[in-house]
Structure 1
């Protein structure tokens, strides 16, 4: 990064620094239960909490640590204002479905607020107005259309020509009484309550497959199995997709956050730019001092500039708007988008009603993830849920799904060809400490990284999912696939799907 600025050493979300969670053991033996939840983020933990309180026997398994994925890396806005979405939904799906989407997310917001009150959770929850602003005439017109959509759908909002922060705007719309919080501080008491009700948690437990049937069985990497009545896969990218080819129906984006002390006082509220590059703002009080969270810089996974450039752009925006005195934390997150921007929540396929998935929250996981947990509770208890058909993963809307499918898969094809035609320009011997590059090892294209101790880690750069070429992420120190968003650590182990197998380790071939 900019040599004039000292950045926090490693990317680490402030939520994880502020909170410590109890560790849980890995699964070591076969078990049986009512419900197995795979994935320990906001969806899995909330669903576990809800179902355990309904008397269900529930086991949560997590491949890493609880809340170490997207939920732990969120900017943690709790809002139904999901960028420019309602005008688009009105045009594509009609008024009934657009209104249902708003209501599902508003219900989730109210549930979080009530849960904070009921359990007396200290999680820095505050009620804030959410603002979407436009800096160009083109996007001011889009905001006018969005405001008309609000009015048609009965959403309380206000159209305005200025906002309380120092950004030049042509127009803005607000959505009143939204929220923000510390997500880990919120979810920690839900985990505790879940365990007090008999729920069990196993970490460092990787689910690799499902044996289908009326009592499906989760198979884990170590061979231990869990037999149950219902499986909930809330693993960001579904670890099991029932041959429904979800990788071709979603795409992954990365985005970035800085948490900083500022010279100017923050006026309250949560803000998001309508234009690209995205700029997101909110505040958080840490140790009695108010920090500002500057977010944005979205790009498809594996296709951005150097990660440091994205942080630098956010730092520049922070300097312009509030004046930065110190950047305390920085981190990035990965989010999945469906073809039509509606999440997939429900049975993985029509023929497997007892295997449920929740994915594709398109950066709005605090409300969409909570809505998914509420839907799963109703589904498992055989209660009516008004949002079941809206979110069903087996849906297909020709517009916009076909267009988005063609665009995304043309991009995948382009990235595939680009990767295959690229030629390594560095030798392993050229690498400095903490540097990576694509090199050639015994005629094969390889990714080499020299760690801080001078040890080399060399992997085949061909993604094990559909054979695209991975790219180096210089901030998280991962190899990221530009085609479908799979990510691998320096030794090739899978960090994020859809890839299931590690990259081939070529370190031994250097000897």
Structure 2
């Protein structure tokens, strides 16, 4: 599981992703020795698994390397909306990139929906794939104009968009942009069936194998892991955040963001559709078939990863919001998700950087990973096959020029430098005796910052809280009981084990 020990702290629901609880666990072997493949895919989420399947279908041998278990990371904590309606993005894309590249983004995400639907049908995947309309709805008169402009922009790009006055949710709304023929599914049941198609004919999946380093030597690449080495002609980094940054400076171009999900039961049928509000703190809604009746997933309350706040309040406020909209019979599940948001809001998909043409990345999905991750797999498969992707330009990692987004670029990096590196956000406070069961805190012990967590049995777990990725100081996440780095989103267990990259080494004991 992504989170820590998961004590309740009076929080609603069971601390578990519905997808992970209702999907079988995998048991692929660790990497048993050095090997060669045409392509090494690092990361076993929707991007990595889909890329591996498409490449194998094209005749390539593929080695998938996953640090833990496939599908149990970011993909296992999504809300699993399969839609090209990404809140309010198309008016922004047209203004920033022009109509041609905005259409590339639109077409890529629509094609991703079609690819998922085709794979579900072709392989008869039992994953609750259901076509539904998607809505971005206005909660105020001011938002109504923005939503109407989004509908116009989306229609101009050929998307199945319309502005509608009626939104089938309780409470007052002011219209919405509606996309027809979108979808939802059970992401793990989908992904695990795809994964089962990879082993054989020279292709394999290796779990419990952490990639540590990539070397691109023009004619071949090597991926060094904590076990053995994989040699390949190409490498795909599908690890959500590139654990190997190379000369791309992706750490300076993305912000880590966490958001929260509750799985609730309500006293009435949920309306037909998947929903998100247009402005302000995000409120996301969808339903899911489940044993015991329909489960409703409500999400939101996003914030920067590693903020020095009581993250339990985000779950509590999300529950309050859900109860303000629907009569809630029960809260059955709670979980949180992590995403990365790029400087200009569009993912980076393509070659890592100049001089690394055989190493490819896919990152920065801005909370829309089901379609963008699938589109990434399609784009990278074309590139590795030497074919031209019709959507590559808008996603190109080298499109970034600081001058084009200078204000946000500088603000982000000055904030990281001043607020997070060195631990200004996590000032040591208190004494070891003050740390209560279930609490984590950074203390100054023998002149050193020390991350202290006292578990429910009173045992103390101590770590050096300096992130092993780039030296920022991790903050305590009270809701998940983890140490989270505010700079680039690395996350660690109470004993310092890496839960989420880009870090590849755990937090050491105090003083090291």
Q: What residue number does 1:294 align with? A: 298
Q: What residue number does 2:3 align with? A: none
Aligned with 1:230 (options 234, 237, 261): 234
Instruction: Report if the CA contact (8 A) 2:287-2:297 is conserved.
Output: yes
Q: What residue number does 2:225 align with? A: 220
Matched, 1:325 2:325: no
Alignment of 1:338-349 (within 5 A): 338-349=342-353
Could you say if the C-alpha distance between residues 422 and 150 of structure 1 is closer, same or farther in structure 2, counting changes exceeding 3 Å?
closer
Query: How big is the shift at 1:273?
Result: 0.8
Query: How big is the shift at 1:160?
Result: 2.1
Instruction: Report if the CA contact (8 A) 1:92-1:400 is conserved.
Output: no
Q: Which runs of 5+ in 2 are unaligned?
A: 1-5
Matched, 1:140 2:140: no
Instruction: Report if the CA contact (8 A) 1:70-1:334 is conserved.
Output: yes
Could you say if the C-alpha distance between residues 429 and 28 of structure 1 is closer, same or farther in structure 2, counting changes exceeding 3 Å?
farther
Could you say if the C-alpha distance between residues 247 and 264 of structure 1 is closer, same or farther in structure 2, counting changes exceeding 3 Å?
same
Query: How big is the shift at 1:317?
Result: 1.6
Q: Secondary structure at the match of 1:33?
A: strand
Cα deviation code 1:280-320 (max 9, x no counterpart): 00000101511110001111101264222111111112112
Could you say if the C-alpha distance between residues 249 and 5 of structure 1 is closer, same or farther in structure 2, counting changes exceeding 3 Å?
closer
Alignment of 1:479-494 (within 5 A): 479-494=483-498
Aligned with 1:113 (options 112, 117, 120): 117
Could you say if the C-alpha distance between residues 399 and 278 of structure 1 is closer, same or farther in structure 2, counting changes exceeding 3 Å?
farther
Q: What residue number does 2:69 align with? A: 65
Q: Secondary structure at the match of 2:397?
A: coil
Aligned CA RMSD, in angstroms, stands at 2.1
Which sits farther off after the overlay, 462-471 or 39-48?
Answer: 462-471
Cα deviation code 1:392-423 (max 9, x no counterpart): 11112557532221221132134237933764
Q: What residue number does 2:423 align with? A: 419
Q: Secondary structure at the match of 2:323?
A: helix
Matched, 1:95 2:99: yes
What is the CA–CA distance in structure 1 between the aligned matches of 2:68 and 2:92, rounded to whole Å? 37
Instruction: Report if the CA contact (8 A) 1:247-1:498 is conserved.
Output: no
What is the CA–CA distance in structure 1 between the aligned matches of 2:21 and 2:449, rounded to whole Å? 38
What is the CA–CA distance in structure 2 between the aligned matches of 1:479 and 1:416, rounded to whole Å? 14
What is the CA–CA distance in structure 2 between the aligned matches of 1:65 and 1:289, rounded to whole Å? 29
Q: What residue number does 1:54 align with? A: 58
Q: Secondary structure at the match of 1:193?
A: coil
Instruction: Report if the CA contact (8 A) 1:339-1:400 is conserved.
Output: no
Alignment of 1:351-366 (within 5 A): 351-366=355-370
Query: How big is the shift at 1:81?
Result: 0.3
- TM (norm. structure 2) is 0.94
Could you say if the C-alpha distance between residues 267 and 450 of structure 1 is closer, same or farther in structure 2, counting changes exceeding 3 Å?
same
Query: How big is the shift at 1:197?
Result: 5.0
Q: What residue number does 1:407 align with? A: 411
Aligned with 1:273 (options 256, 273, 277): 277
What is the CA–CA distance in structure 2 between the aligned matches of 1:401 and 1:495, rounded to whole Å? 32
What is the CA–CA distance in structure 1 between the aligned matches of 2:177 and 2:459, rounded to whole Å? 53
What is the CA–CA distance in structure 2 between the aligned matches of 1:205 and 1:192, rounded to whole Å? 18
Q: Which runs of 5+ in 1 are unaligned?
A: none
- TM (norm. structure 1) is 0.94
Instruction: Report if the CA contact (8 A) 1:479-1:487 is conserved.
Output: yes
Instruction: Report if the CA contact (8 A) 1:448-1:458 is conserved.
Output: yes
Q: What residue number does 1:13 align with? A: 17
Alignment of 1:105-254 (within 5 A): 105-196=109-200, 198-213=202-217, 214-222=219-227, 224-254=228-258
What is the CA–CA distance in structure 1 between the aligned matches of 2:421 and 2:39, rounded to whole Å? 43
Instruction: Report if the CA contact (8 A) 1:52-1:198 is conserved.
Output: no
Q: What residue number does 1:429 align with? A: 433
